Amino acid sequence: MPRIPLVEPEQASEEVRALYTSFAGADAPVLNVMKLFGNHAGFLAGLTSIGGALYQNPRLSPRLRELAYLRASQVNSCHY
Protein backbone atom coordinates (compact mmCIF):
# COMPACT_ATOMS: atom_id res chain seq x y z
CA MET A 1 0.00 0.00 0.00
CA PRO A 2 1.55 3.32 -1.01
CA ARG A 3 1.96 6.03 1.61
CA ILE A 4 0.74 8.66 -0.83
CA PRO A 5 -2.47 7.71 -2.63
CA LEU A 6 -2.34 7.11 -6.36
CA VAL A 7 -4.94 8.95 -8.46
CA GLU A 8 -6.48 6.48 -10.87
CA PRO A 9 -7.69 7.86 -14.22
CA GLU A 10 -11.30 6.96 -13.39
CA GLN A 11 -11.13 8.97 -10.14
CA ALA A 12 -9.07 11.89 -11.50
CA SER A 13 -10.38 15.34 -12.23
CA GLU A 14 -10.90 16.29 -15.87
CA GLU A 15 -7.67 18.33 -15.83
CA VAL A 16 -5.56 15.47 -14.47
CA ARG A 17 -7.21 12.94 -16.80
CA ALA A 18 -6.34 15.16 -19.78
CA LEU A 19 -2.74 15.38 -18.59
CA TYR A 20 -2.55 11.60 -18.24
CA THR A 21 -3.75 11.24 -21.83
CA SER A 22 -1.37 13.88 -23.17
CA PHE A 23 1.64 12.26 -21.52
CA ALA A 24 0.94 8.56 -21.97
CA GLY A 25 -1.43 8.53 -24.94
CA ALA A 26 -4.97 7.29 -25.14
CA ASP A 27 -4.30 3.53 -25.09
CA ALA A 28 -1.11 3.39 -23.01
CA PRO A 29 -1.37 2.59 -19.30
CA VAL A 30 -0.66 5.42 -16.88
CA LEU A 31 2.50 4.77 -14.88
CA ASN A 32 2.19 4.72 -11.09
CA VAL A 33 4.61 7.64 -10.79
CA MET A 34 2.22 9.72 -12.93
CA LYS A 35 -0.68 8.61 -10.73
CA LEU A 36 1.33 9.80 -7.73
CA PHE A 37 1.90 13.22 -9.30
CA GLY A 38 -1.80 13.32 -10.16
CA ASN A 39 -2.36 14.47 -6.57
CA HIS A 40 -1.13 17.93 -7.65
CA ALA A 41 -2.41 19.01 -11.07
CA GLY A 42 0.04 21.92 -11.32
CA PHE A 43 3.07 19.71 -10.73
CA LEU A 44 1.77 17.11 -13.18
CA ALA A 45 1.25 19.84 -15.81
CA GLY A 46 4.84 21.02 -15.37
CA LEU A 47 6.20 17.48 -15.57
CA THR A 48 4.15 16.83 -18.72
CA SER A 49 5.54 20.01 -20.27
CA ILE A 50 9.13 19.03 -19.48
CA GLY A 51 8.58 15.48 -20.70
CA GLY A 52 7.12 16.73 -23.95
CA ALA A 53 10.07 19.05 -24.51
CA LEU A 54 12.54 16.24 -23.93
CA TYR A 55 10.89 13.58 -26.06
CA GLN A 56 9.10 15.36 -28.94
CA ASN A 57 12.09 16.16 -31.13
CA PRO A 58 15.03 14.22 -29.73
CA ARG A 59 18.39 15.03 -31.28
CA LEU A 60 19.95 11.73 -30.30
CA SER A 61 19.22 8.55 -32.19
CA PRO A 62 17.33 5.88 -30.22
CA ARG A 63 20.55 3.85 -30.02
CA LEU A 64 22.56 6.70 -28.46
CA ARG A 65 19.69 7.60 -26.13
CA GLU A 66 19.60 4.00 -24.86
CA LEU A 67 23.36 4.04 -24.34
CA ALA A 68 23.00 7.23 -22.27
CA TYR A 69 20.32 5.55 -20.12
CA LEU A 70 22.51 2.50 -19.60
CA ARG A 71 25.60 4.56 -18.73
CA ALA A 72 23.68 6.75 -16.27
CA SER A 73 22.32 3.61 -14.61
CA GLN A 74 25.81 2.15 -14.40
CA VAL A 75 27.34 5.32 -12.92
CA ASN A 76 24.56 5.48 -10.31
CA SER A 77 24.68 1.72 -9.52
CA CYS A 78 21.05 1.32 -10.62
CA HIS A 79 19.57 -1.81 -12.12
CA TYR A 80 18.07 -1.09 -15.51
Query: Does the pLDDT at position 2 exceed 90?
Result: no
Residue with the bigger pLDDT between 62 and 8: it is: 8
pLDDT exceeds cutoff 80 at 7 = yes
pLDDT of residue 80: 61
Domain residue spans in the chain?
A: 14-75
pLDDT in the model for residue 22: 84
Q: How far apart are CA 47 and CA 38, in angstroms?
A: 11
pLDDT digits (tens, 9 = 90+) for 37-72: 999 999 999 988 887 777 777 788 889 989 998 999
Quickly count: other Cβ atoms within 10 Å of residue 31's Cβ: 12
Statement: the pTM of the whole predicted model exceeds 0.75? no
